Amino acid sequence: MEITIDVYSSIFQLPESEYCQFHNSNNGTLFYDRRFLIAAEQSPLLAVKKIYYLIARTHGQLLAVLPAYLQDLNVVDPFQILANNAGIHNQGNDTGLFSHIMHCFDTTIPSHQASLALHDALFCRLRKLAMAEGASYFGLLNVQDPFLLKHVGALGLNVNFMLERWYVELSEYRDFDHFIEKLPYDGRNEMRRQIRKFDASQATLSMLAPPFDARLEQLAQLCQDTTARHGTPHYFPAAPLTRFSQLCGDLVRLNLIELNGSLIAGMVCFEQQDTLHLWSAGMRYDQIDFSPYTLAFANAYRYAFEHGLKRLEAGRLNAKIKTRLGLQPERLYTVTSERLNHSA
């Protein structure tokens, strides 16, 4: 099979109808929805130097699309996960050419007829781009696709455990009450205790679909304030997060907790096909007696059951509390090059 690869600098260079048909026919995931790619391109949450889209075709037919982002290593690795787990170290002003953005927790290579030859062609082109840009590394982050992971070892790339993503298959439960019954003992008791505290308060829960009012900006600021408290103030900057959410359009849901007309906690979520993704959270604790994190999950679970959704994704990190809340881990890996030698 003859494979040609073109390199674009914007998703808009690929006809919308062609990409959407490609995405839908492959049962494409959230992070490769055209709206999400546009948001990542037009309102990046972490600073990006350049964006590339590797477009693979065979006999004119769109075969695969791989977005890649040239970023400073100190920007792309705010949690030092790549340094600690994959041996990718910043020696000063190093850059990397990586896919997908760090805020994506399910990187793959969307394609028709995925094959070793296709992956080889894409990684060869990605290497050439990285060399041309003077990048120190290239690769994929947050990968769980077993077919892809099997291929990359044969292509001489390094595969390392990165961290875990958390999810629950809701189709195994009748409804929210049944789900709570099946939680671990400590999680079940804690969920019920926090719901009782919430019910005794004046706070309200809601799940909003667009168009959004000023609460989107308020939640974005709350998300930035929360990540700042945890040592990563630049991970969810308020203004870009607001714009990012607006660009994602009908994919976005706002999971909100309010008290006396004021927003005290919430999550930016995505609803795509049969899955609800909990993505960015912001919390205040000074005005309430209940756990806003637990109640935000309770609200998300209720919403998912009421709308017939089959899966809930809850991102990465916070393993202890997510286990208690009924979520299961799935391992994610880095697929990266050795340090590139630009003096050869």
> What fold characterizes domain 171-309?
Aminopeptidase (3.40.630)
CA–CA dist 243, 303 (Å, integer): 25
Residue 230 pLDDT > 90: no
**Could you tell me the end-to-end alpha-carbon distance of the chain, in angstroms, rounded to an integer?**
32
Average pLDDT, the chain: 95
Give the pLDDT score at 216. Answer: 98
The DSSP H or E segment spanning 242 is helix 238-247
Give the pLDDT score at 236. Answer: 95
Give the pLDDT score at 313. Answer: 98
What is the CATH class of 3-163+332-336? alpha beta
Equal fold, 3-163+332-336 vs 171-309 = yes
Residue 228 pLDDT > 60: yes
Give the pLDDT score at 80. Answer: 86
pLDDT tens digit sequence for 312-337: 999 999 999 999 999 999 999 999 99
pTM: 0.95
Four-CA torsion 157, 167, 213, 205, nearest 10 degrees: -160
Write a three-state SS string for 146-208: HHHHHHHHHCCCEEEEEEEEEEEEHHHCCCHHHHHHCCCHHHHHHHHHHHHHHHCCCEEEEEE
pLDDT band at 342 (very low <50, low <70, confident <90, very high): confident
pLDDT band at 79 (very low <50, low <70, confident <90, very high): confident
Q: What average pLDDT does this structure show over 148-176? A: 95
Residue 78 pLDDT > 90: no
Residue 39 pLDDT > 60: yes
Residues of the chain above pLDDT 90, percent: 92
Domain positions in the chain: 3-163+332-336, 171-309
Give the pLDDT score at 231. Answer: 85
pLDDT tens digit sequence for 268-313: 999 999 999 999 999 999 889 999 999 999 999 999 999 999 999 9
pLDDT tens digit sequence for 177-194: 999 999 999 999 999 999
Q: Report the residue count for the chain.
A: 344
Contacts of 150 (CB under 8 A, 6+ apart): none
CB atoms within 10 A of CB 216: 23
Give the pLDDT score at 344. Answer: 57
Q: What average pLDDT does this structure show over 150-156? A: 90
